[in-house]
């Protein structure tokens, strides 16, 4: 068995709390994000070796999106952990097939690439069950659906699982990894670390010197690569976006309600958006987002949200639908579109101090607002126009805020006194 003192000596103090959570079975999922040199991968590799040697029924599967990267990354990292913990004589390491075997019991660490889904899905162990799963470079995977599918295949036959996700947060706010953090389960621990949390003797003076140099000459690169911050790509349209929970108490206190509808049916969804505007910030806390929704069903769904006196500003390209809404008792009005109204509506939204979206109540609004970026030409230069795709909730928000926006060419004026 590994001496606890040796274990502690080889784990950065920044990870002591995570280690204790694992030891006490406090969470199932451990989301470890951090910049270069934060030792998050070193910590995970040590925990897996220690955990297998401590729990005789535990096995592990280590996954990267592309299998060819396994040997020079996670395999080498776990080999380092075995050597660092002084248990090299207790393990058998194989490269074909790629696996590590704890000689005393036959427990295994298996290595898989998600680019071979059939092989990954059919992963089995002869003794015990797969307790530990490690996704290295999480942002390389396709999205949460792929992760869920893999977990459902591997997390069987045991009572306790520890799933590790390690990555440096991508620069773009629109990356699925960054967005997904708003929707994680309460059974997940999020831990952030940087090289600044690590003893300097571990990473070396040269590493620190290079980091400090990048900090001086390219501060944005430093913040992303070394501090693990989401700095943005420079193409984000709504830099004032803030995705967070909006509490029931907040919603009950809202009194300046804004409502908008962007009609759709087959290809494009019908969108109803509801928010509160305090004169400086827009809070979006309710949405209906659905394709194939008839007007009668849409009307019923809106009425289920409660009676409100505030107008619903709708896409004026659908006068028949607006009339149906009005006949059903909803205060629907057509948006007054004018020259460059799309551009000015978006600029108005950009001018707000904050656009706050509840990601759980309004997942589609959170996705579309955070994904909305300017396109780029062949040379990589930004295109000076707003993209007309995946913007259905943005259109609904523009309509909802129409009465707060004064359309004067080249000038945006906030009119917070309207519709109080």
| Residue corresponding to tokens 């300097």 | 200
For residue 259, the tally of other CB atoms under 10 A from its CB is 23
**DSSP single-letter state for residue 236:** B
Q: Give the residue among 402, 342, 400 at the shortest CA–CA distance from 372.
A: 342
* Cα separation, 151 vs 281, whole angstroms: 39
Catalytic residue among 47, 137, 368, 373: 137
* Cα separation, 206 vs 209, whole angstroms: 5
Distance of alpha carbon 253 from the chain centroid: 29
The sign one gets for the Cα dihedral 112, 38, 185, 394 is negative
Note whether 35 and 222 are within 8 A (CB).
no
What is the per-residue DSSP string for 162-226? EEEEEEPPPS-TTSHHHHHGGG--TTEEEEEE-GGGS-HHHH-HHHHHHHHHHHHH-HHHHHHHT
For residue 336, the tally of other CB atoms under 10 A from its CB is 12
Known catalytic residue: 137?
yes
The per-type count for the chain, helices as H runs and strands as E runs, is 16, 17
Instruction: Please state the length of the chain.
Output: 420
| Residue corresponding to tokens 């999020």 | 190
Catalytic residues: 137
């Amino acid at each position: 068995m590994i001496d606890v003192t040796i274990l502690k000596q080889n784990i950065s103090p920044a990870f002591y709390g995570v280690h204790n959570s694992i030891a006490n079975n406090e969470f199932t999922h451990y989301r470890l994000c951090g910049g270069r040199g934060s030792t998050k991968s070193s910590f995970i590799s040590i925990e897996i070796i220690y955990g297998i040697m401590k729990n005789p029924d535990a096995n592990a599967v280590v996954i990267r999106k592309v299998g060819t990267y396994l040997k020079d990354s996670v395999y080498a990292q776990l080999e380092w952990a075995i050597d660092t913990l002084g248990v090299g004589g207790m393990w058998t390491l194989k490269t074909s097939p790629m696996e590590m075997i704890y000689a005393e019991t036959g427990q295994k660490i298996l290595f898989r690439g998600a680019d071979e889904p059939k092989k990954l899905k059919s992963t089995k162990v002869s003794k015990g069950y797969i307790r530990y799963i490690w996704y290295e470079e999480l942002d390389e995977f396709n999205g949460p659906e792929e992760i869920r599918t893999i977990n459902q295949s591997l997390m069987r036959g045991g009572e306790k699982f520890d799933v590790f996700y390690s990555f440096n947060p991508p620069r773009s706010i629109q990356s699925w990894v960054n967005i997904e953090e708003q929707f994680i389960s309460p059974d997940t621990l999020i831990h952030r670390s940087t090289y600044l949390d690590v003893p300097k003797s571990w990473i070396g003076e040269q590493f620190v010197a290079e980091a400090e140099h990048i900090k001086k000459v390219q501060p944005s690169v430093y913040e992303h690569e070394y501090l693990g911050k989401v700095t943005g790509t420079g193409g984000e349209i709504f830099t004032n976006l803030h995705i967070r929970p909006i509490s029931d108490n907040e919603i009950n206190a809202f009194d300046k309600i804004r409502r908008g509808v962007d009609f759709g049916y087959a290809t494009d969804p019908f969108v109803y958006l509801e928010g509160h505007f305090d004169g400086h910030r827009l809070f979006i806390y309710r949405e209906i987002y659905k394709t194939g929704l008839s007007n009668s069903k849409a009307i019923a769904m809106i009425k289920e949200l409660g009676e409100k006196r505030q107008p619903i500003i709708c896409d004026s390209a659908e006068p028949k639908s607006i009339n149906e809404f009005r006949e059903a008792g909803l205060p629907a009005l057509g948006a007054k579109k004018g020259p460059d109204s799309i551009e000015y509506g978006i600029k108005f939204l950009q001018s707000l101090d904050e656009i706050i979206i509840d990601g759980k109540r309004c997942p589609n609004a959170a996705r579309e607002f955070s994904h909305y970026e300017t396109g780029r030409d062949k040379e990589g230069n930004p295109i000076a126009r707003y993209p007309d795709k995946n913007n259905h909730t943005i259109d609904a928000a523009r309509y909802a805020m129409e009465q707060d926006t004064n359309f004067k060419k080249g000038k945006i004026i906030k009119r917070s006194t309207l519709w109080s």
